[in-house]
Structure 1
Amino acid sequence: MHRIMLFGTTTVTVDGREVSGPALGGVKPRQVLELLALADGAPVTKDRLVEMVWGDGAPASAVPTLESYVCVVRRAIGGVAGGRDSVVLTTSAGYRLDTTRVVVDRTECLQRLARSASAPVAEAVRSVREALTTAQAPLLASETRAAWADRERDAMSAHLAEACADVAARALDAQDVDAAVELSRRAVELAPFDERAATVRIAALEAAGRRAEALRCYLDLRRRLVDELGVEPGAEARARYLRLLTGPAEQAWEAPSRTELAALLELLRDTLGRVPGLDTVPVERALGRVASHALALL
């Protein structure tokens, strides 16, 4: 059985030996192997491989050169150049990996995420944690200049973030607050502009009694959205923020902590600073006085 690791440095393990780096035959043969591994056993045409490996600069001899690269890969990871006993199979549509004899870590990661969607909460939490462990290293770390590798990394981050947010929300409903806090943190790290991930994170922190961190989470989300995208948080995130400020009707009022007060003052300063035509100098002075008096009372 062959194992192809796409997270971190691309590596093939076969019969107890590891093949990576120059041993895979060079940059382009390695990319051919990676593209086949990303296809999860589906055939990839020669034209598609040429397009991905060379881009617009493909030479006239690209197809025969590609065929030679496939031979290089076969020899590097085991199997004769002709491919009869190789895990890299030739088809009428191009090439594909024999998934009965190859395991790809990216495929395993995506399968775990897919299982988490319908599994019971405890099993879903475990599946997502296993996927996160698999994805600790960057996907396709060997490819620093390939646009297709960037797209694959972005897609994987989106898959992981969505699963983390979904399972965190389910864990919160099941009153597994620790899992909700853990997975929502990873969701926000993976997708810092995702309002749903941040909203789940805020709810998890609130349930854990960490209101100051929840306020900070909203403030960070708002700053990213406003500064980078020029938009305010949506209705759900704002409603969660207002809930943090007021608390449930049945909850007794408690004095805010220094961290909470500092976060609220920072949010107020940021909001007022965006009012057209407002002189910010007296605003800063007034807020400074308010902050000093308020913090002195705590």
Structure 2
Amino acid sequence: MRTWGDTTPGSGTGTGTVAVQAALGATAPVDGALFVALLGGLRVHAGGEVLGARQLGGAKPRHILIALAVARGSAVSKDRLVSLLWGDEPPHGAMATLETYVSVLRKRLQPSRPSRHGVIRTLPGGYALDLTQVSLDLVDFETAVGRAMLAGTPTATTLEMLTQALALAAGPLLPDEPEVDWLDVERNRHERMVTAAMVEASAAARAQGAGREAVRWAQEAVDRDSLDESAWKALLESLQASGRHADGLRAYDRCRRLFADELGCSPGPLLQEVFRRLLRGANSADDELTELLDAVIELHGAARHAARSATLSQARSATELIEQAFRRLDDLLRDVVPVRVLRAPASV
């Protein structure tokens, strides 16, 4: 089993993360409260200070904090922590060493608070973070997404909340940490949730008539996971809603080729249904364009006929032809623009 090394990644200030957390309703770290950021890299804010790996007591205490933070307040057994730190061959006295590391971590996180009242709670056989004393950006993100998706939430509110949550999740989960199995499971879970939130943001933007934003969120979801059918469906539906049928058909073709190459299958029935709607929309758009061109040609011919009219009778006849052509063209354009855009010239 692969375990963490003793590397000590750098730590940024994370001011952007704190700002977004505040927008989502998180409380600023005061009176010993903590912010622990996992998205974009581990950052710990304690009492207005940023604690790097050295301030946390070294690599092992930092790894313990990560394991407890990823558990989101659930208990992590001592046996599990020993396995995460040392693998299948822990050193002699590993359990006592683990307890020493936890003691060091407690003092570094909250030096003025007794351990029994601190952020790391001791439970039978293990430890857990007390989420009443620590704000985790990972939890803030998941909570915000959950609130945004509550039934009955206005679409505009849903879009605003998802936009704020996705700003918080702009960085990947613990990118500076090694690729170990248990952490990769958490990373994959987080990536799926971010992609799903982007798909929902696209749907909310589409419902608000914000076509460009809907396409942007859907494209970001596809870029994040190009084999996610729901992301492709959101992109095709957003392009369709924006009247970009040709772009939608090209996107479907990219999806079809990718699925064939990577999965050995075709897009599912839901994607195929959107594809059929795009085809119908493209054909309808072609028919409308043909009718508009015919009407313009008819108007042009009537105008030329009027210009060649030699008598008053011929001029009146030409004027009637122009008025008919204007009416036809006006009717066709009103299907596209819901206002009267043309006016026939005054009668001769």
Tell me, yes or no, if the aligned pair for 1:226 and 1:232 is still in contact at 8 Å: yes
Q: Deviations over 1:209-247 (max 9, x none)?
A: 333432332222222211111111111212222322332
TM-aligned CA deviation for residue 170 of structure 1 = 4.0
1:105 corresponds, among 124, 129, 137, to 137
Q: Answer yes or no: is 1:131 the counterpart of 2:171.
A: no
* Residue of structure 2 in register with 1:161 after alignment: 195
Structure 1 gaps of 5+ residues are 256-298
* 1:89 alignment partner, SS class: strand
Unpaired segments ≥5 residues, structure 2: 1-32, 290-348
Distance in 1 (alpha carbons) for counterparts of 2:78 and 2:253: 49
In structure 2, how many angstroms separate the alpha carbons of the residues matched to 1:35 and 1:174?
40
> Are the structure 2 counterparts of residues 53 and 254 from structure 1 closer, same or farther at C-alpha, using a change threshold of 3 Å?
farther
Q: Closer, same or farther in 2 for the Cα pair 1:30/1:79, shift >3 Å?
A: same
1:21 Cα shift?
Answer: 2.8
Contact 2:246 2:282 in 1 (8 A): no
Deviation at 1:37, TM superposition (A): 1.1
Matched, 1:140 2:174: yes
1:48 pairs with 2:80: yes
- 1:165–1:197 Cα contact (<8 Å) kept: yes
TM-score (norm 2): 0.67
Contact in 1 for aligned 2:55/2:108 (Cα 8 Å): yes
Asked whether 1:149 is paired with 2:186, we answer no
Aligned-residue offset at 1:90: 1.2
**Which of 19, 30, 34 is equivalent to 2:62?**
30
Does the aligned pair in 1 maintain the 2:245–2:279 contact within 8 Å? no
CA RMSD of aligned residues (A): 2.3
CA contact (8 A) 1:4 1:105 kept: yes
Distance 1:57 1:245, change over 3 A: farther
* Matches of 2:97 and 2:254, distance apart in 1: 50
Task: Give the C-alpha shift of residue 28 in structure 1.
Answer: 2.3
Give the Cα–Cα distance (whole angstroms) in 2 for the partners of residues 18 and 130 of structure 1. 23
Aligned to 1:180: 214
1:10 alignment counterpart: 42
2:231 paired residue among 164, 176, 197: 197
Is the CA contact 1:32–1:70 (under 8 Å) kept in the aligned structure 2? yes
Identical columns (%): 35
**Alpha-carbon distance change, 214 to 20 in structure 1, aligned in 2, over 3 angstroms:** farther
Aligned length: 255
Cα deviation for residue 10 of structure 1 reads 0.7
Q: Structure 1-normalised TM-score?
A: 0.78
Contact (CA 8 Å) 2:245, 2:281: kept in 1 or not?
A: no
Secondary structure, counterpart of 1:56 in structure 2: coil
1:237: which partner in 2?
Answer: 271
- Counterparts of residues 78-117 of structure 1 (less than 5 Å): 78-79=110-111, 83-117=115-149
Partner SS, residue 287 of structure 2: coil
Is the 8 Å Cα contact of residues 40 and 174 (structure 2) preserved in structure 1? yes
Q: Does 1:218 align with 2:259?
A: no
Q: CA offset at residue 250 of structure 1?
A: 5.4
* Per-residue CA distance 1:156-212 (angstroms, 9 max, x = gap): 110111122134224424434244223222222222111121011111012223334
